[in-house]
Amino acid sequence: MKRFTETEKWRDPWFRKLSAGAKLAFLYIIDNCDNAGVWTADKELADFSIGMEIPWVKVLEAFGERVSVLPSGDWLIVRFVEFQFGKLSKDCKPHLQVMRLIEKHRVSKGYPKGFRTLEEKDKEKEKEPEGSAEGDFSSVPSSDFPESLRDIAFGARWQEWETHCRDRGRSLTSVSRHAQLAECANQGRDNAMKALIFSITNNRDYIGWEWMKDSINRRNGTPKPKPRASV
């Protein structure tokens, strides 16, 4: 399983001040938790894998608000989902598995800190005044987005794309952002939405317009071109 890692943690005073054992424990939990950030606290296996006996009570105290213990005894990395996936969307297939895990870890009175059920999110959305939903363009200059792309659904998807780019270490420049939005408008809103989903799902660094060519080829029965043999 591949996951994003925060390379700047070694410069973070909080992480730097952890003991060697606490650092290893934190990295171990990140690598062994599920996609909802929940680790089944098998401390015996963790000690064996790390190669030293970890003082888990002291380590948990050192983690502070970054890690909480669920009523089940499992450990939750509070900001794991936010860091790995950004804003979850029902339209993104990889996110559905994460949402199911979040539902699975539900406790009797809602979710622990950082967790909200899909039902709770829908209720909150109903209570929001018009124009306050995710993807609202109240803070975006009217000239920034092409007219055909100024709706909440596309705005939410575009925010997810920019988060994806930042997580991969390549934030969009103002020039590339303008060019990509122009191309999205040229290809049409619906095609642009599908291309963004394609890129995020396949962990691409660029908007995957090739999904359109593949789709057209499949409809026409045209096989994909074979790669050229190296000379």
173 secondary structure, DSSP code: P
| CA distances for 168 relative to 34, 42, 93, angstroms | 21, 31, 19
Asked, for residue 46, whether it belongs to a domain, the answer is yes
| Least confident window among 39-53, 143-157, 165-179 | 143-157
What pLDDT is recorded for position 47? 93
Q: Identify whether residues 154 and 61 lie together within a single domain.
A: no
Report yes or no: 211 and 194 within 8 Å, Cβ to Cβ.
Answer: yes
Top-confidence range, 61-75, 97-111, 143-157, 215-229:
61-75
C-alpha dihedral over 209, 211, 217, 222, to 10 degrees? 100
Query: Is this prediction's pTM over 0.75?
Result: no
Q: Identify whether residues 107 and 173 lie together within a single domain.
A: no
SS (HEC) of 20-80: HHHHHHHHHHHHHCCCCCEECCCHHHHHHHHCCCCCHHHHHHHHHHHEEECCCCCEEECCH
What pLDDT is recorded for position 177? 87
Q: Identify whether residues 103 and 159 lie together within a single domain.
A: no
Asked, for residue 136, whether it belongs to a domain, the answer is no
Q: What is the mean pLDDT of residues 148-154?
A: 81
What pLDDT is recorded for position 221? 52
Q: How far apart are CA 126 and CA 133, in angstroms?
A: 9
- pLDDT exceeds 80 at position 188: yes
What pLDDT is recorded for position 87? 80
Locus of tokens 């992480």: 15
User: By residue range, what is the domain housing residue 197?
Assistant: 147-215
C-alpha dihedral over 4, 46, 62, 1, to 10 degrees? 10
Q: Identify whether residues 22 and 113 lie together within a single domain.
A: yes
Among 155, 157, 160, 130, smallest CA distance to 145 is for: 155
Asked, for residue 128, whether it belongs to a domain, the answer is no
Q: Identify whether residues 7 and 107 lie together within a single domain.
A: yes
Asked, for residue 126, whether it belongs to a domain, the answer is no
- pLDDT exceeds 90 at position 162: no
pLDDT-derived band of residue 168, with 50, 70 and 90 as boundaries? Answer: confident
Total of domains in the chain:
2
Asked, for residue 156, whether it belongs to a domain, the answer is yes
Report yes or no: 73 and 39 within 8 Å, Cβ to Cβ.
Answer: no
Sheet strand arrangement including 67-69: 38-39, 75-77, 67-69
Q: Identify whether residues 1 and 113 lie together within a single domain.
A: yes
Q: Identify whether residues 23 and 110 lie together within a single domain.
A: yes
> Which is higher by pLDDT, 103 or 135?
103
Q: Identify whether residues 105 and 154 lie together within a single domain.
A: no
Q: How far apart are CA 156 and CA 175, in angstroms?
A: 20
Q: Identify whether residues 167 and 109 lie together within a single domain.
A: no
Tens digits of residue pLDDT in 95-125: 887 778 777 765 333 334 444 444 445 555 5
Q: What is the mean pLDDT of residues 139-145?
A: 59
Average pLDDT over all residues of the chain:
75
Asked, for residue 127, whether it belongs to a domain, the answer is no
Q: Identify whether residues 112 and 186 lie together within a single domain.
A: no
Asked, for residue 142, whether it belongs to a domain, the answer is no
What pLDDT is recorded for position 48? 94
Asked, for residue 77, whether it belongs to a domain, the answer is yes
Tens digits of residue pLDDT in 2-61: 788 888 888 888 898 999 999 999 999 998 888 888 888 889 999 999 999 999 989 988
- Please list, in sequence order, all residues whose beta carbon lies within 8 angstroms of the beta carbon of residue 64, skipping any fewer than 6 positions away: 14
